Amino acid sequence: MAGHLVLVQAVGVRVPAPQQNMGKYVKKIFSGTSNPSLAASIANEMGAPLGNIILSRFSDGEIMVKYEENLRGNDIYIIQSTNPPAENIVELALMIDAAKRASAERINVLIPYFGYSRQDRKVIPRVPISAKVMMDIFTKAGADRIVTMDLHSTQIQGFPKIPVDNIYGSLVMMPELESHFKEKMKSGNCTLLSPDMGSSKLSQSYAKRLGMSFALIDKRRSAHNQSEVVTVVGELKDKHVLIVDDMIDTAGTIFNAACVAKEKGALSVVVAATHGIFSGDSIEKLSNDVIDQVFISDTIEIPEESHFEKLRIISSAKIFAETINRIHKGESVSKLFRKVT
């Protein structure tokens, strides 16, 4: 075998007393290569080490997975976002299969960002339901449970026959947004602007929690990744505006909404989203003067070259660590949701 060799391990993690190599439901955490920094932070929050796993490549680029420790009878947690490239999906499927064949008792898969979730139904003929295909891949490989954050559509939870926990991204974003708008809220001139109808429910939940008024943009999609604003419902003049969405891809929707807000007389525009995909010329749009600050969680690893001055990355490690602990102890995960409802 030839090619690149990667050993995924935690760095600077607090290591507890050694655990038995065998035994029912011993908790072990492993990371793929899509977001190792988040995985290390989750392990650090839990006071546990990341397990040793070798992820290597054959000379033709195919992925090979090998766990470097015993998994028999253990409770396994695999952390891997499935954003592009597609190798992240293949790598995750192979990690699940390897754990299954190593006789892991329970295989829990943490997918902070669930890729291919935007195609969750057939809107035109002869297209796949990609979210269902992804769920099928992971369940057939041997996953017993999937944990993710802010699925693009909540109906995806019902696609597989295994439990799917969809953690609210607002658990991560809300404390930072409350702190940012604390002084501005005293004047009562803050508005949450939903960039489109699809984001209205999410935006309303943020508006309710933050105590903001609500406004909505009605837009029409003219082509794939292209849209235009038709009308605005709500008052934006002399307001500090917050725009919330589940993800930012090309940033076209967010940028158009920010432009409309400034045209309508907004004093400032802040953008918040759980997942920062940042494709195309999104960085250029988000760096434009119409946007004052951008809040993003770390569900997708954002390379240094994609960082910009207005960007604020918020760690989701604490929420995922608490979720893992609740699952492992057999406690209710839904109690986490009460913090934002």
Catalytic machinery residues: 219
Residues 6+ apart with CB under 8 A from 68: 7, 51, 52, 53, 54
Euclidean distance between CA atoms 292 and 267, whole angstroms: 10
Euclidean distance between CA atoms 81 and 123, whole angstroms: 26
Helical spans, DSSP H, in the chain: 36-46, 87-101, 130-141, 170-180, 182-185, 200-210, 252-263, 282-286, 317-329
Give me the residue label for tokens 């409350």: 178
Peptide linkage before 125 cis (omega within 30 of 0):
no
Mapping DSSP to helix (H, G, I), strand (E, B) and coil, where does residue 284 land? helix
**Residue pair 236/265 in contact by the 8 Å Cβ criterion:** yes
Structure tokens given for 191: 């508005």
Euclidean distance between CA atoms 11 and 22, whole angstroms: 24
